[in-house]
Amino acid sequence: LLQHLENEFDALKEEHESLEEACQTPEESKASDRRKHNLRKREIKQGIRRLDKLMCSISSLLSALQLALEEMPDIQEVTLILGASIVRPQHVFQLVFSGGNFGFGNLNKCTERKFSDNIARKVGQLSLAIM
């Protein structure tokens, strides 16, 4: 999922660069075409900023969640409240970890990797629900 977001991010950057190059080449085009071109550039810039912010948020959320689970291995449920205010949240999600006891001290690397992938998948599903 994160790979998909990175690919979409790269595609938007490439499209923005191609629009910038097309804008720099002097052409005799109509004003309406230039306005459409500039509108598309603005939309792409907004998409790039939104995806960049989402990817940074997912990364920091994964790090914080993994750290919390390392510190307190008996966590069974995490509630994420997203929005400008806790009083009026836009989204409320619950991540439920069945099986409990996530102490990393006794885990081998394979199990730790599976656990990290599970967290990434749950947070990825969360980010898709937000979009």
* pLDDT tens-digit readout, 21-43: 777 665 666 778 778 888 988 99
Domains in the chain, number = 1
Q: So what's the pLDDT on residue 117?
A: 65
CB 131 within 8 A of CB 82: no
- Which segments of the chain have a pLDDT < 50? 103-108, 128-131
When the pLDDT of each residue in the chain is averaged and rounded to a whole number, the result is: 73
- pTM tops 0.95: no
Q: So what's the pLDDT on residue 106?
A: 47
Residue numbers of the domain that contains 45: 2-130
CB 51 within 8 A of CB 8: yes
